[in-house]
A and B are shown apart, each in its own frame.
Chain A
Amino acid sequence: NAGVMQNPRHLVRRRGQEARLRCSPMKGHSHVYWYRQLPEEGLKFMVYLQKENIIDESGMPKERFSAEFPKEGPSILRIQQVVRGDSAAYFCASSPPRTGVNGELFFGEGSRLTVL
């Protein structure tokens, strides 16, 4: 399967714990995007990364959330000290460089975080 791979698919955490979500983009894609889907809502942009660079994190909450895309390995979305409101589906998408307005984003299957 050469698609966008996310893991874990489901993650349960207690309040105050840390959540780490991983995303491996499609082969040949160097751009990664994270979106969050709250219950009953559409997806909302969080952050856009290229290898070793955060390009746009305007959709990320100012505290507790961070993202990275290292030179080697998957992109990681990290949520520290989780709260119940962080319960959501987190989707990763990837694209090749120079994606125009008609460029399709390829989404992973999402990681569903439940905070108890």
Chain B
Amino acid sequence: AQKITQTQPGMFVQEKEAVTLDCTYDTSDPSYGLFWYKQPSSGEMIFLIYQGSYDQQNATEGRYSLNFQKARKSANLVISASQLGDSAMYFCAMRVTDSGGSNYKLTFGKGTLLTVNP
């Protein structure tokens, strides 16, 4: 079974500083995808960044980068130059191809609540 662990229930960061949100995962499948989503207080789920298990380089999207350490099974999200609008819940998620060839289910972690202080 797949599992995502986010060990930080809450994180605080000063505006303009960088912050790392931790995510570890567990799967025996060699082919998987890792996602990060942002959920602001309004409740919608916003896709941030994706990393494939076979990707050679760490994914980056603007101020977001994913620190992918395959051997350690970690996929930490790094947000550079934090902004007040970054305050939100952040979820790490994983998708694998199961034994039946299906690959549509996302398994989510419990999330990390990030607060950016002015």
Contact = CB atoms under 8 A, between A and B. Distances in A.
B110 A42 contact: yes
A65 to B, nearest CB: 17
Contacts of B43: 89, 109-110, 112
B96 to A, nearest CB: 7
B102 A45 contact: no
B102 to A, nearest CB: 7
B108 A102 contact: no
B50 interface: yes
Contact of A104 (B42, B50, B103): B50
A43 B45 contact: yes
Contact of B45 (A41, A103, A107): A107
Nearest to B95: A101
Nearest to A111: B43
Given A40-B110, A42-B4, A42-B110, A107 B104 contact: no
B105 interface: yes
Interface residues of A, number: 28
Nearest to A42: B108
Given A41-B110, A43-B108, A45-B106, A102 B45 contact: no
A42 B25 CA distance: 14
A48 interface: yes
Contacts of B95: 101, 103
A106 B37 CA distance: 11
Contacts of A35: 106
Nearest to B46: A107
Interface string A39-58: 01111110010000000100
A42 B91 CA distance: 7
A112 to B, nearest CB: 7
16 contacts: A41-B110, A42-B93, A42-B111, A48-B104, A48-B105, A56-B102, A91-B45, A101-B33, A101-B96, A101-B97, A104-B50, A105-B47, A106-B47, A107-B47, A109-B42, A109-B43
